[in-house]
Amino acid sequence: MLILKVTAIEPIHGYGIVQRLQQISKEALQVRQGSLYPALYRLENKGWLKSEWKITEGGRDAKFYSLTKAGRAHLDQETRDWRKLCNAIELVLDFAG
């Protein structure tokens, strides 16, 4: 879901995604960067991302990923579900505490 969120803003390549995630979560998520790609490919297989080879600012070829319409719909749904879950947990915590 995080990947989808990152790509929602603008088309971005794999390294960019990792950088953005590190910015956002401030190094809280530590995984091997290489395992990003299987996740990206799976999302692409599902039709939520689409990819395109473009030239970066540095002049190199890189594959850029962007959200598809279906991906956006899925992201919205996932976000809503997540928020609902968070609210529910908060309620419980408020109630219990």
Partner 1 sequence: MRLHRKRETLGWEREMSAEMQFHFDSLVRDFMAEGLSREEAERRARQEFGSLELAKDEARDTRPLEWFYSVVKDLRLSIRGIRHSPAFSLTVIATLGLGIGATATVFSLANAWMLRSLPYSEPDRIYAIFENRPREVGSDRIPASVPDFQDWRAQNKSFEAMGSYESADFIYSSGDQSQRVRGAFVAHDLFQALGVRPQAGRYFEEDEFWLSQATVTIVSDGFWRRMLGADPNAIGKTIMISDRPRRIVGILPSGFEPPIRSWDVYIPRPNNGMEKFRGAHGINVIARIKPGVSFDRARQDMDVISKRLEQQYPENKGHYASVVPLAEALHGEFRTSTWALMGAASLVLLIACFNVANLMMARASARAREVATRLALGAARSRIARQFLTESFLLASLGAVLGIGIAFGGAALLRAILPPSTAVIPEDIRIDPAVLALAACLALITALICGALPALNASRAELNGVMREGSRGQSASAAQRWSRSAFVVAETALALVLTVGAGLLLRSFWNMQSVDPGFRVEKLLTMELMLPPSYSEGDKTLAFQNRLLESTRALPGVVRAGFTTYLPVTGQNVRRNMEIQGIVHQGSEPRRANARIASPGYFEAMGIPVLSGRTCLDRDTQKNPVAILNEAAVQRYWQGREPLGTKVQFSGMNDDWAEVVGVTADVKHFGLEAVPRPELFLCSYAPPTIMALVVRTQGEPETLMSAVRLKLREVDANVPPLELRSMEDIIERSGASRRFLTSLVAGFAGLALLLAAIGIYAQLAYSVTQRTPEIGIRMALGARQAQVIGMVLQHGLLLAGSGLAAGFVVALILAGWTQKLLFGVTPLDAATFATAPLVLLGVAGVACLIPAWRAARADPARTLRHD
Handedness of CA 87, 31, 74, 68 (dihedral sign): positive
Binds partner 1 (CB under 8 A): choice among 33, 55, 81, 87: 33
What minimum distance in Å lies between the beta carbon of 6 and partner 1? 15
21 touches partner 1 (CB under 8 A): no
Stretch that binds partner 1, among 4-12, 58-66, 72-80, 85-93 (CB under 8 A): 58-66
Residue found by looking up tokens 């969120």 in the block: 5
Q: What number of chain residues touch partner 1 (CB under 8 A)?
A: 18
What is the rounded CA–CA span in Å between residue 15 and residue 88? 35
**Among residues 3, 6, 12, 14, which is the contact residue for partner 1, using CB under 8 A?**
14
Angstrom distance (rounded) from CA 86 to CA 88 = 5
Cα(80)–Cα(54) distance, rounded to whole angstroms? 33
Nearest approach in angstroms of CB 36 to partner 1 is 8
